[in-house]
Amino acid sequence: MSSAAEFTDQEAEPGNTIDRAYPGGIPEATVARLPVYLRALYTLGERGVSTVASDELARAAGVNSAKLRKDLSHLGSYGIRGVGYDVEYLVYQVSRALGLTQRWPVVIVGAGNLGRALANYGGFLTRGFRIEAVLDTDASLLGRELGGVLIRHVSELERIVTENSIAIGVIAVPAGAAQAMCDRLVAAGVTSILNFAPLVLSVPEGVDVRKVDLSIELQILAFHAQRRNAERFGQAVDQAAAEA
Amino acid sequence: MSSAAEFTDQEAEPGNTIDRAYPGGIPEATVARLPVYLRALYTLGERGVSTVASDELARAAGVNSAKLRKDLSHLGSYGIRGVGYDVEYLVYQVSRALGLTQRWPVVIVGAGNLGRALANYGGFLTRGFRIEAVLDTDASLLGRELGGVLIRHVSELERIVTENSIAIGVIAVPAGAAQAMCDRLVAAGVTSILNFAPLVLSVPEGVDVRKVDLSIELQILAFHAQRRNAERFGQAVDQAAAEA
DNA sequence: TTATGTGAACTAATTCACAGCT
DNA sequence: AGCTGTGAATTAGTTCACATAA
């Protein structure tokens, strides 16, 4: 959380860089792709590339170059015509747009396999985020270390969230416990939740929930796989079963 | 994989139920929501609900009712005006549309925390999928059981994929190993890949890749969190840093 | 030259609002 | 009377194609 206090007067101040750079906000679809660009840029940077053209960056990110350029244009005009983009500078601008110039403290609720996988995700998670705590109810896990953080009891949830001004919580508990954990996170002040439990969480207005669902992704793959088969085999698959 | 062989003649056969039910295919956005509806339907069914109106189902799925009805209309006309939808029947129709009337054998590559989390995902994963094998290179893991399946060595990958006609593979290995594993899966005949490694996989035409990326979701949350803060604090956040 | 940035055209997705069926 | 199914209207997202700038 920022230390800034009350600037409500200059909301529409012209010349405010954010107003110029983000006229009417960045489209959701663009926001969802910025992290992909950011990762591609990091990879290029590590390889010593200092300048990259939209074609190349687009290939690395798995999109077409027109889309990439349009996306980046929503952040501002940070490329050089005839040349391309400066990798380091673009990393900075994309990071800034995503809000990653600060480091967000995160609490992970659930220290099962998934919680552990998250806590150990290391490399990429640590850019822009810091795991402040991992919580569980299982007494046998308490005190164990996970990704450099001790596993603590969920009874400490409220205190930890408040003391560290945690805005982002990750739910990695079984479906049955997820809504209760969500309610506690929200009550304690968390406004962004990443939900791995397979259910739709109810949250009050103003709380942002994103879900990651393993079985949903598999089911989408199954749909396309079936469709591919149907095409190959003349679409007669399941024909009999379809009526009634 | 189906046992059907060559039906290429009747591709455009009118009266084919799939042609009638899916005129011009189901929109991607709809496909991505069908699994959510399916889960909500299962939950309702377990509670003993036998009929559900679009409002109620939409609420359970976290979408609005117009969208739900439009989505379902792409599968066919399976509701009853003035009444609603029969839960059991709709479960069947959605399952069929998603290709879940068959059980897809799946191979998971990587038995680290994430692979283990997936293998133990149990309840929801098993509806429509069967984990045929979990593979790893780590000798200390081999022979251990995971979600009812033995962990085997990746050297068996090709044999296992071929013998079981596996069409869907899950990559849960570190980024450095992911592309190589992907190539081997594809060479062995896998055409659908769910990728948990934080990189963009290259695959030949005709192979379907979906990615699940923990850090991307967090970054999207950070964006919105930042934006919320900027609104509250008058959008002056990062103003100085923006120039140069 | 060469590659960005962007209006304009196009395509997809969402929402509205109500006709039509039970 | 009530709820589905869907054309029509709207909004969002993508792609094209080229003027513009280094």
- Residues forming CATH 1.10.10.10 domain(s) in chain B: 9-98
- Residues forming CATH 3.40.50.720 domain(s) in chain A: 104-212
Blockwise average pLDDT, block size 10, chain A, 244 residues = 30 34 78 97 97 98 98 98 98 97 96 93 75 96 92 98 98 96 98 97 96 93 93 53 39
CA distance to partner chain A, nearest, from residue B177 (Å): 15
Per DSSP, the residues of chain A read: -------GGGTT-TT-HHHHHSTT---HHHHHHHHHHHHHHHHHHHTT--EE-HHHHHHHHTS-HHHHHHHHHTT---EETTTEEEHHHHHHHHHHHHT-SS-EEEEEE--SHHHHHHHT-GGGTTTTEEEEEEEES-TTTTT-EETTEEEEEGGGHHHHHHHTT--EEEE-S-HHHHHHHHHHHHHHT--EEEE-SSSPPP--TT-EEEE--HHHHHHHHHHHHHHHHHHHTTT-TTHHHH--
Give tens-digit pLDDT for B79-129.
999 999 999 999 999 999 999 999 999 999 999 999 999 998 866 566 899
The verdict on whether residue A111 carries a ligand-binding annotation is: yes
The verdict on whether residue A123 carries a ligand-binding annotation is: no
pLDDT for res A121: 81
> What span, in angstroms and rounded, lies between the C-alpha atoms of A93 and A77?
10
pLDDT for res A13: 30
In CATH terms, the fold of domain A12-98 is Arc Repressor Mutant, subunit A (1.10.10)
pLDDT for res A97: 97
- Residues forming CATH 1.10.10.10 domain(s) in chain A: 12-98
Q: Is B168–A222 a contact, with Cβ atoms under 8 angstroms apart? A: yes
Distance between the alpha carbon (CA) of B85 and the C1' atom of D2, Å: 13
Cα nearest neighbour of B241 on chain A: A96
- Which residues in B lie closer than 8 A to residue A144 (C-beta atoms)? none
Residue B64 reports pLDDT greater than 70: yes
Give Cα separations from A21 to A78, A94, A98, A100 (angstroms). 10, 12, 13, 17
Residue with more model confidence, A135 or B22: A135
The verdict on whether residue A114 carries a ligand-binding annotation is: yes
Q: Verify if strand D has an atom below 7 Å from the CB of B220.
A: no
Q: Verify if strand D has an atom below 7 Å from the CB of B29.
A: no
CATH number of B104-212: 3.40.50.720
Nearest by CB to B235, from A18, A220, A235: name it: A18
Residue B8 reports pLDDT greater than 90: no
pLDDT for res B54: 98
Q: Is B36–A191 a contact, with Cβ atoms under 8 angstroms apart? A: no
pLDDT for res B127: 83
pLDDT for res A7: 27
pLDDT for res A111: 97
Nearest by CB to B225, from A61, A124, A168: name it: A168
Pull the structure tokens for residue B187: 């060479």
Residue B240 reports pLDDT greater than 60: no
pLDDT for res A148: 87
pLDDT for res B24: 60
Residue with more model confidence, B25 or B66: B66
Q: Verify if strand D has an atom below 7 Å from the CB of B216.
A: no
CATH number of B9-98: 1.10.10.10
pLDDT band per the 50, 70, 90 thresholds, residue B198: very high
The region of weakest confidence among A45-49, A105-109, B165-169, B239-243 is B239-243
Q: Is B62–A21 a contact, with Cβ atoms under 8 angstroms apart? A: no
Residue-averaged pLDDT of chain B: 87
